[in-house]
Amino acid sequence: MTEEKMTYDEAVQRLESIVAQLERGGKNLDETLAMFEEGTQLLRQCQTELSEAEGRLAELSLDDAESMVKDEE
């Protein structure tokens, strides 16, 4: 596992490969448990990211939008 946080897409990809490898079987106990641990963490990360997409829909006029970002730039 890398220290850097994976993007949602990378996490889903890795998750799928872990599940596929586990389903193929043949891994020893340590590997199996390590993969399960990683898979569970990735699943949690994905679910967190999904919940982070929840927000609200803001409709702004161009002038309002400009002054909003201008204040923060």
Partner 1 sequence: MSSGPQTTTGPLPIGQFVKLVQKTVKQDPLFQHQALRGEVSQWNVHNGNVYFKLRDDDGQLDCVIWRSARIKVESTIKEGSDVVVIGGLDLWPKRGNLQLVVRKIEPVQTIGALEEAKRALIAALKDEGALDRARMPLPGMPKHVAIITGAGSAALSDMKRLISNRWPGLRTTVIGVLVQGERAVNELVRGLAVTRALSRTDVAQKLGLPPVDAIIIGRGGGSVEDLWAFNLEPVIRGILASPVPVISAVGHEQDILVSDLVADVRASTPSNAVELLVPDRHSVMMMMDDVDMRLIEAVKRRLGELRQQLMLLISQLKHAPGKGVFRAKEQLAVLGNRMKRGAEHSISIQKQRLTRLEATLSASHPHRVLERGYTMVQNDDGDVLTTLASLQQGQTVNLQFADGRAAADIHTIEPKEEEK
Query: In angstroms, what is the minimal distance from the CB of 3 to partner 1?
Result: 19
- Asked if residues 32 and 67 have their Cβ atoms less than 8 Å apart, the reply is no
Q: 2 or 69: whose CB is closer to partner 1? A: 69
- Please name which of 8, 9, 27, 30 lies closest in space to residue 19, comparing C-alpha atoms: 27
Contacts of 5 (CB under 8 A, 6+ apart): 45
Q: How many CB atoms lie within 10 A of CB 11?
A: 19
The residues that touch partner 1, with contacts defined as CB under 8 A, are: 7-9, 12, 15-16, 18-19, 22-23, 25, 27-29, 32-33, 35-36, 39-40, 43, 46-47, 49-50, 52-62, 65-66, 68-69, 72-73
Q: 3 or 55: whose CB is closer to partner 1? A: 55
